[in-house]
Amino acid sequence: MQWNLEQLEIFVGIAEGASFSAMARRLGRAQSAVSTAIALLETDLGVALFARSNGRTPVITAAGLALLEEAREVLRQCQRLDSRAQALCAGQEPLLRLALDEAMPYQPVLDALDALAAAFPHLEVQLTSGAQGDVARKLLTDQADLGLLFRHEHMPQALERQALGDVAQVTACGAQHPLASQRGVGRRELARHRQLLIAPLEHPYPGGEQIAPQVWRADSFYLLAELLMRGLGWGWLPRHVARYPSYQGLLAELACDWVPPALVVELAWRRNAAPGPAARWLAQRLAEELRAIG
């Protein structure tokens, strides 16, 4: 193979409508140099790319049409190589591994990732999700670079954190639970029924204030919702989880005299692995998207 990228660029340019003379002006070369480049490319490929029987206007041959998209792809790949090398030279990380709590509101996350793809088109992204406790564990074991999770009191000391926003919670129970039929529910009435709380399995974090003497615990808001729908107690859920379409008619939001505190959303990373430009950009965009949903 003796052909080069300039020859491919000339071939594609002429195939897309430029004449030999126009291509020569674009490159600042003599027209004879452009003609020679095409002739050498044809020799190397072993096929005629243009028919020159009708005067000055080059007409692409069937063989040329068959090879045109391949030539375009080679040029695109070269552009991607140059662009990624420039990004790496500027300090951009080549790979971003993001672990997120499965109960994060999906729309802000997806919108932020959509924008990330546009802002950093050559960045490779790996996404994982898990229940409470999984995100911090993946960070500590170097399975993730960034973690998107809900704040709790016993975050590992090896992690740095940045608050991005918060997510409202509601008090919920199954549609058939005795509390569902009451118009106003006080703390004393809540305490008479089993309370379901979030708790990461490997941490002493109680997952919220315990009000009732009898408590069940789970490490997933979605598992908690399933237990609530079965009438096994009452608990606090992120509002978007409680209103998940599949749960409509199966969960009831209780009107209480006490509103549960919002869940603080944090971005976390290992202290010895500071976020790169793409990670910092994503953190800012996630904060904007969370503010947009209130």
> Which part of the chain is CATH 1.10.10.10?
5-89
SS3 150: strand
pLDDT tens digits along 197-218? 987 555 544 456 788 999 999 9
- Answer for the pair 283, 267: CB distance below 8 angstroms, yes or no: yes
Confidence at residue 219, expressed as pLDDT on a 0 to 100 scale: 86
pLDDT tens digits along 259-281? 888 999 999 988 877 788 899 89
> Which part of the chain is CATH 3.40.190.10?
95-166+264-292
CA dist., res. 70 & res. 102, Å (int): 42
Q: Is the pLDDT of residue 256 over 70?
A: yes
Residues 38-44 have a mean pLDDT of: 89
Confidence at residue 55, expressed as pLDDT on a 0 to 100 scale: 56
Confidence at residue 202, expressed as pLDDT on a 0 to 100 scale: 53
Question: In the numeric block, which tokens belong to residue 52?
Answer: 């020159």
Question: In the numeric block, which tokens belong to residue 120?
Answer: 């950093």
E strands, the chain, are 50-51, 59-60, 95-101, 124-130, 146-150, 159-167, 169-174, 195-198, 215-218, 234-238, 251-253, 263-270
CATH number belonging to domain 169-261: 3.40.190.290
- Is the whole-model pTM more than 0.75? no
What backbone torsions phi and psi does residue 100 show, to the nearest 5 degrees? Answer: -135, 150
Residue carrying the six token digits 């904060």: 287
- Mean pLDDT (the chain, rounded): 86
CA dist., res. 226 & res. 6, Å (int): 62
Residues 149-161 have a mean pLDDT of: 81
Burial class (CB in 10 A: 0-12, 13-18, 19+), 253: middle
Burial class (CB in 10 A: 0-12, 13-18, 19+), 218: buried
pLDDT tens digits along 221-255? 999 999 999 999 999 999 999 999 999 999 999 99
> Which part of the chain is CATH 3.40.190.290?
169-261
Confidence at residue 200, expressed as pLDDT on a 0 to 100 scale: 59
Confidence at residue 205, expressed as pLDDT on a 0 to 100 scale: 44
List Cβ neighbours of 68 (8 Å cut-off, separation of 6 or more).
11, 12, 15, 60
Written out in words, the top-level CATH class of the domain with range 95-166+264-292 is alpha beta
Written out in words, the top-level CATH class of the domain with range 5-89 is mainly alpha
CA dist., res. 281 & res. 275, Å (int): 10
- Answer for the pair 202, 138: CB distance below 8 angstroms, yes or no: no
Residues 28-38 have a mean pLDDT of: 87
pLDDT tens digits along 181-191? 988 888 899 99
The residue count for the chain: 294
What percent of the chain has pLDDT above 70? Answer: 90
Residues 25-33 have a mean pLDDT of: 86
